[in-house]
Amino acid sequence: MKPVNKPSPALAGLHSTWRKQPLSRDKADTLLLMAACLLVLLPHMLHLDWWTSAAGLGLLVWRGWLTLTGRRLPPSWVLVPVSLLMMAGVYASFRTFFGRDAGVAMLVLLLACKLLEMHAKRDLFVVLFLSFFLQMTSFFYSQTMGAAVLNVATVVLLLTAQLSFHYTGLVPPLWQRLKMGTLIMGLAVPLTVVAFLLVPRIQGPLWGLPSDANAGRSGLSDSMAPGNISDLALSDDIAFRVKFTGTAPPRSLMYWRGIILDEFDGKVWTHGSQKFPGPQSPQSPQARGQANPQASFSGKPVTQEIILEPSGQRWLFAMDIPEGAPVLEGLASTRNAGMELRASRPVSKRLRYQVTSYPGYVLQPDIGDSMREAMLDLPPGYNPKTLAYAKELRTRLGGDMQIVNAVLQMYRNEKFSYTLEPPLLGVNGIDDFLFTTRQGFCEHYASSFVVLMRAAGIPARVVTGYQGGALNVVDGFMEVRQSEAHAWAEVWQPDRGWLRVDPTAAVAPSRVSLYAPLRRQGISGLFSVGNNSTLSSLRMRWDALNNSWNQWVLNYNDTTQKDFLRSLGFSDVDWPNLILLLFVVGSVAIGIVALPLMLNRARLAPLDKVYFSLCQKMAKRGFARPPHEGPSAYAARLQAGLPAEAFAPAQKFLALYTAAKYGKNSLPEAAIVSRLKTLLAQCR
């Protein structure tokens, strides 16, 4: 026989107590409030420092333990040092108490601390209102439809907790309170929709955002070092969506041009010599390339409608090569000689624009001596093996394109591999990659190729952007994700201009010709959609739903509002008329909500109505009846305070009402009500 592990007497007694006795009213309400606060804090756990999340959750667990065990809350001499220590931690992490991230971290910790200081009803309302405010700050980080649904659920739970603390007598079951909280939330929906559609929209925000409001955006930057793009390849976030006018080009042509990197310090490529002109209209001849000696276009144009996600960068993307700068709402855009597109300000909100590209082009057939020298420049003292190999290729092959093909053949035939986890490289990183490790991502191949070309006397540069995309068959948009960030090379040839060369395609052709995202390692690989058709279909539907949410809700601006009003027959509505329309439609919405509530209001029976009339008459004489006082007790109190001649009709009234209300009476109700009204008239 195995020995049976019995709990200690203290634990057994505690378990028995919890099992036999249900939670008290105060404990149940407090735990419900804590559950609502936990739902408020959960979205912030994705972006807070680990210690802030751990401290917030730890304080919640502490409060829950105190509630379940019935222990007293900690005194001020314990809470004050804890709070000061956590504020010091916030300052140590952010070097400030201001800004988005520091402010949200403080609010999270203050909410958790306030739960340990709920001594009065006033503290309860502080916790509730602080929770509502902290919940709104989650939209600083995510405005997706999923975030909106979670916020609605959080509001319902907070309202339910607030309702629970307001009950004084018998408390309804939790599901009924949740139903009431949902109903209260639902009552606000009509007026919310009217306000969303009709409140005047202005260009720009109503207030300035903190300097770190756009921090944490993922996307390409204006520099490239080994590991930059491979880090992006682990992200499934959407960079932009594209819808083609007409037939979509093959995936092998979907090079989404972004940033030219042409300065190299031995390790990092940076954006250097390309200078931006003033804003150009895509309708101008120079912007369209019709009178621009730097570019000429041929073949069938490809028109794209692009929805660019916020990136915190100024770069815009278009398929190689854009005909002109797009027209942006509220922003100017430019296109430089290298066919890079750029907005006048960092992209902090979703942008929708249209651009036309030509897959056939001749770009900068004459670059001049100064630019040619810049495109051949290499830092001295780096990668001697690569330089020697390039000179050997020049001596052996002679022609530029023969050298290009030879290097591509080397990548293709020798033991080079395409991987997200390449070995670390030393000071001479290009030498290490070409002659030792031979494992890398697209930035390794593009960087090594351009260095080889420059060392061989061929002007070359790196271009970063995105390659490919996956069609969402639900809404017809091509989704280009951060995982499709890519780097390729351009080499310059006289009279032919800049030619795109993708050395990665020589090593991993599927990276360019097929939608074949790399298999992720570790935990993230367990949740990869892969080739599962059911999961892929669900993901497409969810992405399409999010796209609709982005277009019709998050991108509802001044222009969209005017188009909406115009579709309703209101053309050229100015602010005064729009406010008047808001008042009228808002009043109708309030009426629609209020009318059913008024019609469903409990009506008094004729017997009770005449009884309350007596109570009102006696209240004017100084004998107000409390809600809990019955007719018999009320009659006794009136007898003690009223003269005999004044009390006589009141006594008969209350006796008749009591018999009719609570006893058996054969008289019709109408006759009783008539008699009561006669007695009421005598009560003077």
Please list, in sequence order, all residues whose beta carbon lies within 8 angstroms of the beta carbon of residue 449, skipping any fewer than 6 positions away. Answer: 407, 411, 460, 489, 501, 503
Q: Is 442 a catalytic residue?
A: yes
Element holding 340 (H helix, E strand): none
Written as six digits, the tokens of 562 are: 């005017």
Greatest CA span in the chain, whole angstroms?
131
Q: Which residue spans within 460-576 are E strands per DSSP?
A: 460-467, 470-471, 478-481, 485-493, 497-501
Q: Compute the distance between CA of residue 9 and CA of residue 499 in angstroms, rounded to an integer.
A: 82
Cα–Cα–Cα angle for 656, 657, 660, rounded to 5 degrees: 85
Active site residue 486: yes
| Catalytic residue from among 442, 444, 475, 683 | 442
Q: How many DSSP H helices and E strands does the chain contain?
A: 26, 20
Catalytic residue among 320, 432, 502, 543: 502
Burial 454-491 (b: 16+ CB within 10 A, else e): bbbebbbbbbbbbbbbbbbebbebbbbbbbbbbbbbbb
Whether omega for the bond prior to residue 321 falls within 30 degrees of 0, making it cis, is: yes
Residues 6+ apart with CB under 8 A from 138: 43, 44, 147, 151
Segments of 236-285 assigned E as strands: 238-245, 255-261, 263-264, 269-270
Find out whether 491 and 453 touch, Cβ atoms under 8 Å. yes
Task: Please provide the size of the chain in residues.
Answer: 684
Phi, psi of 312 (to 5 degrees): 75, 0
> Of 113, 486, 543, 683, which residue is the catalytic one?
486
Residues 1, 554: Cα–Cα separation, whole Å: 67
Q: Is 615 part of the annotated catalytic residue set? A: no
Instruction: Give CB contacts under 8 A, 24+ apart, made by 507-513.
Output: 507/411, 507/412, 507/416, 507/417, 507/418, 507/445, 508/418, 511/418, 511/442, 511/467, 511/468, 511/486, 512/251, 512/252, 512/467, 512/468, 513/251, 513/252
Amino acid occupying residue 635: A
The single residue listed with the structure tokens 């992006």 is 232
The continuous run of DSSP H or E covering 527 comes out as none
CB 491 within 8 Å of CB 400: yes
Number of neighbouring beta carbons within 10 Å of residue 174:
12
One-letter amino acid of 545: L
d(CA 124, CA 466): 51
Which residues are known to be catalytic? 442, 486, 502
